[in-house]
Structure 1
Amino acid sequence: MTTALSPAPPTGPVPDATPAPGVDGPSLAAARPDRADLDPGHALGELARWRREDAAADRFPYRAVLGHYRAVGKNAVGEELLTALRAVEPHGPAGAVDPAAQLLADWLPQVVDGQQGDYDSYLGTPVYTSLTAAGAGPDQVITALLAEVVATEAAVLAGNPAGLPRTRAALRALAAAAGIPALIPGESEDLVAACAEAVAVARQAVPAGVLRAVELTLTPTTRGHDEQMFIRVIQIFEAVFAAVGRAVAGATEAVAAGRADLARDLLAEAVRQLAGTSGVFRVLTTMPKDAFAVIRANTDGRSAVQSRSYRGVERSCPTLHLALLESGLPQEELQPVMAELDEAWGAMKRTHWGITMKIIGSVPGTGGTAGAAYLREAAEARLFPALRRAQPAG
């Protein structure tokens, strides 16, 4: 076995002997890896060097670790590297709150879980939770994630034209999220150029800390290109769920304070966030069934049913309605926007169900859920079950 004391592996790309990277194929990192990334000894050696020097969080060898993870897939990472990563103790300057140490502490659960991870370690949820606490807005996070999808798809498009529909869909979603104009060319070469321009513009509007967090939170379990898109899409939805949950919680507090106007604005923002998911769903529909079957087989225990943000929205909305009933505020002040939120949430769930039927049919979903059957049942649940719009007579 290669260890940290072994000679450094040869550098440079491995000769291409795999299928073209892209949709229904390997990722670019797996198809054309650097030799060093294939050898766990390289990452082990960089970790050992980091410890010997000063073990400062801002000097952690993320590149070496992630290079290996993305070249072989997280589920294939050996125990020696996992053990070394589990021994890492993030620290910053004594007596100071160090953002680099916090980032490393948040990121480590994503790479030390081996094959026993959960939904949060699959997505890097702690990293995004800290981003939000530090003031990052959901639009910034979503824009950065979509920019990564567009850049990843464009990078392989020249060698795999099967990616045209996904690249177009991703570029449209990014343009909508970032509020930038984007023409969608029909030819691969022109589309790649349009993607590069849109990604550059979008990233300029996102803080460096958000871009860095997004860069680090991609540790697919497999070598497949499609899983990279899948992870980014789930991260986007988690950002939306968290934003909706915060809006509902804020609206509940506003209602208790007699601020119907503030509550209405917060709920309208939640509706806007949900409306933006339609373009992301279009990206997801480009996943081949075979690709998802591989992901499903490698993500046991990492089901989206574990999403605390999703469950939190469905638990907190009845509380909001009860607060409104007890507040003495006129019901008509908020009921229309509550109904809009209810419909937007239900539409999102119905779309998810339809896509699941297309991609996996009736087989179990990720994490062993009942798949489409579970989603169909969930889609029928209302956010405000006691809220009923007046129905016309006859």
Structure 2
Amino acid sequence: MHELTSWLSGTTDPRAFPYAAVLREFHRVGKHFVDPRLLELLDEARRRLTGSGPTGSGTAPGLLDDFIDVTLDKWDGRYDYRSYLALRLLRLPSGEDDPAATGDDDTTTRHARDRLFVRLVADALAFELAAARGAADLLPLQRPAWTVVVKRCRLGVRAAAPALLRLGCQASPDDGTPADAAAALHALAATLDPPADVPLRLSMLPVHVTHDEYLFIRVLQAYECLFAALADELGAAVAALADARPTPAADRLAYAHDLLDGAGPLFSLLATMQPESFQTFRQYTEGASAIQSRSYKRVESLCRTPLQERLDSVAYQAVPEVRARVRAGQATVDEAYRSAVADGRLDGPDRRLVARRMEAFASALFRWRHTHHRIATRMLGRRSGTGYTEGTPYLAAVRDVPVFTSVDPRPGPFQAVGGPRA
């Protein structure tokens, strides 16, 4: 608090803000247990910077504004999934609001997402190694055994490998022991962006001092990055189908499938989390739930228009901006495919190609949902979830909902593309 008090009594230059000191205190006790006096000082810093109180509206620009926003989420009573993962700080690369990113060549955005994905995974593994070797005192409670650390290193390196290949990295860090490979991955990740990556460091704000929460946060952040990418690819596929360009649409769907399938080891990595550790820190995450994920809802709603019951559920009420787009008539892959077939713009080999790619992506998403449900059941049993959700019963209810419902225009029984077969 001394550093922050000194900053407040000076020029309050954002460039001189004592990030390290504030972060150190949050790490020492966990966000849920930070001294209210420190939170009061942060609130004062916010008023000095914005003159308008809470920055949750997103109107205050800049790194410091975003950092204070996520540190004061519990203080303000607006703690949720996005603030828990500090997504404003990560600034997920997305072409959602950039018309150019819906074209056939958005390599820059794709590479930015891959770099962030690799850095998140590499950082998680670096923490595992540092803690196991006694080089880190952060989150000291319930350290895992070395065998678990080795397994995490192996799975993390596997999860990052597809993104590294897309980035054109020739040397895959797979030589030596899993720990050696993880260390090599971290060294490689440091070359992908400036080493002084302040937003990445500031985005680690656990609620407790349990070791496994670090892994939990980084894996969820990596999945948010992944689903932001999937949403962009699906949006571009919709635009291509609307413009009668089946090949680019099929390519986008194939790329989305490869992204989701290639990230499979992320769930295996998350499954190494110790259930007792999860139960320890999750009691302080009330108000934050993965069903509040904006990126996932963008993916789901771009596949097909959610039924009214789904749209009225707590899951969509938690993402009002996505819900508003759906209600405004957002185009979907499902709709664009059916329309193109009905109008004769998509037929023959082109139609079959797009349908196959839709089915492949749907199958990958089904696998993701089932794995998500299985891991959540292992960690939670059939208990209620956080964020005022229904926990694993909720996941079970939505895991088999068809991804697409495009009907083959030829006579015959209905078959949901990618859905469960009779």
TM-score, normalised via structure 2 length:
0.73
CA contact (8 A) 1:74 1:219 kept: yes
The aligned counterpart of 1:222 is: 208
Establish whether residue 127 from structure 1 lines up as the match of residue 89 from structure 2: yes
Establish whether residue 182 from structure 1 lines up as the match of residue 173 from structure 2: yes
The aligned counterpart of 2:199 is: 213
Establish whether residue 283 from structure 1 lines up as the match of residue 272 from structure 2: no
Establish whether residue 158 from structure 1 lines up as the match of residue 118 from structure 2: no
| Secondary structure of the corresponding residue to residue 196 of structure 1 | helix
CA contact (8 A) 2:334 2:405 kept: no
Following the alignment from structure 2 to structure 1, what is the Cα–Cα distance between the partners of residues 123 and 130? 10
CA shift, 1:176, in A, is 4.3
Match of 2:369 among 339, 349, 360: 349
| Secondary structure of the corresponding residue to residue 213 of structure 1 | helix
The aligned counterpart of 2:357 is: 337
Give 4+ residue runs of structure 1 displaced > 6 Å after superposition: none
CA contact (8 A) 1:296 1:367 kept: no
The aligned counterpart of 2:335 is: 322
Following the alignment from structure 1 to structure 2, what is the Cα–Cα distance between the partners of residues 88 and 379? 44
Deviations 1:1-28 (A, max 9, x none): xxxxxxxxxxxxxxxxxxxxxxxxxxxx
Q: Match for 2:131: what amino acid? A: V
Q: Match for 1:166: what amino acid? A: R
Q: Match for 2:82: what amino acid? A: D
TM-score, normalised via structure 1 length:
0.78
| Secondary structure of the corresponding residue to residue 387 of structure 2 | helix
User: CA 1:390–1:320 in structure 2 vs 1: closer, same or farther (change >3 Å)?
Assistant: closer
CA shift, 1:342, in A, is 0.9
CA contact (8 A) 1:157 1:192 kept: no
CA shift, 1:364, in A, is 2.3
CA contact (8 A) 2:337 2:406 kept: no
The 5 A counterparts of 1:369-380 are: 369-380=389-400
CA contact (8 A) 1:175 1:198 kept: no
User: CA 1:123–1:320 in structure 2 vs 1: closer, same or farther (change >3 Å)?
Assistant: same
The aligned counterpart of 1:142 is: 117
| Secondary structure of the corresponding residue to residue 397 of structure 2 | helix
Following the alignment from structure 2 to structure 1, what is the Cα–Cα distance between the partners of residues 244 and 43? 49
Task: List alignment gaps of at least 5 residues for structure 1.
Answer: 1-43, 93-99
| Secondary structure of the corresponding residue to residue 190 of structure 2 | helix
Query: Aligned-residue CA RMSD in angstroms?
Result: 2.7
CA contact (8 A) 1:150 1:170 kept: yes
CA shift, 1:225, in A, is 0.7
Q: Match for 2:284: what amino acid? A: N
Match of 2:188 among 198, 201, 207: 201
CA shift, 1:199, in A, is 0.8
Deviations 1:272-323 (A, max 9, x none): 2211221111111111111111122110010011111111211121222212
Match of 1:266 among 215, 235, 252: 252
User: CA 1:332–1:131 in structure 2 vs 1: closer, same or farther (change >3 Å)?
Assistant: closer
Following the alignment from structure 1 to structure 2, what is the Cα–Cα distance between the partners of residues 390 and 267? 13
User: CA 1:87–1:376 in structure 2 vs 1: closer, same or farther (change >3 Å)?
Assistant: same
CA shift, 1:132, in A, is 4.1
| Secondary structure of the corresponding residue to residue 87 of structure 1 | helix
Which is worse superposed, 364-373 or 280-289?
364-373
Deviations 1:138-169 (A, max 9, x none): 21111110011110011122355243322332
Name the count of aligned residue pairs. Answer: 337
Following the alignment from structure 2 to structure 1, what is the Cα–Cα distance between the partners of residues 284 and 265? 27
Which is worse superposed, 57-66 or 162-171?
162-171
Following the alignment from structure 1 to structure 2, what is the Cα–Cα distance between the partners of residues 276 and 172? 9
User: CA 1:106–1:132 in structure 2 vs 1: closer, same or farther (change >3 Å)?
Assistant: farther
Establish whether residue 170 from structure 1 lines up as the match of residue 156 from structure 2: yes
Following the alignment from structure 2 to structure 1, what is the Cα–Cα distance between the partners of residues 93 and 14? 17
The aligned counterpart of 2:68 is: 108
